[in-house]
Amino acid sequence: MDELNKLRDIKTIAPIELFNPIWIVVAIVVVVVILLALYFLTKRPKRKIFKLTPKELAMQRVQNIDYSDAKSVAYIFSKDLAHFIDESNSKQYLQLEKELEPYKYKKDIPKLNKDLENRVKEFIKGIKWKI
């Protein structure tokens, strides 16, 4: 029995220390990361996407007309130049539109004659591009 009294392998309950400075540092880092993520997701200025307005798109199409295709000239002239017509050039626009009418609705069309092509070019040069 003396031998059993000598055995002391079971110890009493030892207190566990929960306060550790490493936990405070980890908590501060997590809070800072969360705050930075929220800041960059909400307060960051949005990158502006420059989209062209319909008038700007029409102006680009008019300035890049392919005069070898008479049908596209007729359609672009009547559709896109309508944005830029005012009182000073409306009569000339209507006259040219009537002359381009035969080039619109037919399947096989002849080439645009040089006289009409030059008048269309001069009319486009005289347009005041108000956007």
Split at pLDDT 50, 70, 90, the class of 35 is very high
Split at pLDDT 50, 70, 90, the class of 77 is confident
**CA atoms of 59 and 53, how far apart (whole Å):** 10
Q: Token pair for residue 21?
A: 């400075």
* pTM score above 0.75: no
Every domain of the chain and the residues it spans:
2-42, 54-125
| 82 CB-near residues (< 8 Å, 6+ apart) | 93
Lowest mean pLDDT across 47-56, 60-69, 92-101, 115-124: 47-56
| 96 CB-near residues (< 8 Å, 6+ apart) | 77, 116, 119, 120, 123
Q: Are 90 and 126 in contact (CB under 8 A)?
A: no
Q: Are 112 and 71 in contact (CB under 8 A)?
A: no
Q: Are 44 and 89 in contact (CB under 8 A)?
A: no
